[in-house]
Amino acid sequence: MNSTEYESISIARSRYAGCCLACGICKILCYTICCRACRPATQPKEELTLLCLGLEGAGKSTLLAELAGETVPEAEPTIGFSIKAVLMERVVLSVKELGGGPTIREYWERYFSGHDAVIFVIDSMSSDEQLSESVTCLSRCLASSALRGLPVLVVCSKQDKTGSKSVDHVKAMVESVMDGRKWSIVGSSQRGVEAVKKELEEIANSIIDN
Ligand SMILES: Nc1nc2c(ncn2[C@@H]2O[C@H](COP(=O)(O)OP(=O)(O)OP(=O)(O)O)[C@@H](O)[C@H]2O)c(=O)[nH]1
Ligand SMILES: [Mg+2]
């Protein structure tokens, strides 16, 4: 082998080594980019637990199904309790509905502890007598030490129905039982739960930020 041949083999070898190095760097880059792309973009959401109360037929299951983006269930009373996950921007709400029948209500208090906020649903189609029963029920619940100081969202359901009581009418009846806690009231209707969702978002954010 003469010196010219030896020189050209050396050049070819160093070019080959350079190519291998570039390939290696490319592979590492591709791997890093793929790993980053496959990793979840956000951290797992925080979870808050809420209690959903209200007399039988008030509209709790319907509201929670709408909030959870599920098909609204056939009208069936909730036996015992049911739990729904509602996805918010920063948090997942795990909402426990307690069936509102008079027999189940006697046992409600056993399930009160360990919650961050309360949703109380009132049927806006209630007569004045039924409305008073709802307010008495709400007042008893709020007197429980397990719910002391928790924020309350009152939802006036069935606002889509003709003859429903206005949110202001219900508000005038419930404000006296709120004992200085943070509370708010909104209306809802079948396929119209945006105001409830917005209010829940605010409640959740204030719990997380404090
Ligand atoms: N038009 C209308 N009907 C509603 C609304 N919310 C609930 N309903 C109806 O009211 C009835 C009772 O609703 P539910 O959601 O089962 O009531 P609930 O509070 O879960 O009742 P319990 O589980 O027995 O305590 C059902 O026939 C629903 O379709 C609403 O906003 N608008
Ligand atoms: Mg129900």
Q: 146 is written with which tokens?
A: 């397990």
Distance 152 CA to ligand 2 centre (A): 19
The CB of 58 under 6 Å from ligand 1? The reply is: yes
Distance 123 CA to ligand 2 centre (A): 13
Pick from 14-18, 162-166, 196-200: least confident: 14-18
Residue 109: which of 55, 58, 146 has the closest Cα?
146
Summarised one tens digit per residue, pLDDT across range 89-122 is: 999 999 999 999 999 999 999 999 999 999 999 9
Residue 174: which of 158, 157, 152 has the closest Cα?
152
In this predicted structure, the answer to whether residue 72 has a pLDDT above a threshold of 70 is yes
Distance 96 CA to ligand 2 centre (A): 10
Q: Where are the beta strands (DSSP E) in the chain?
A: 46-53, 81-87, 91-98, 117-123, 152-157, 183-187
> What are the φ/ψ torsions at residue 158 (nearest 5 degrees)?
65, 30
Summarised one tens digit per residue, pLDDT across range 148-168 is: 999 999 999 999 999 999 999
The CB of 75 under 6 Å from ligand 1? The reply is: yes
When pLDDT is averaged across residues 11-16 and rounded to a whole number, the result is 64
Q: Is 100 left (phi over 0), alpha (psi -120 to 50) or beta?
A: alpha
Residue of the nearest CA to atom 5 in ligand 1?
158
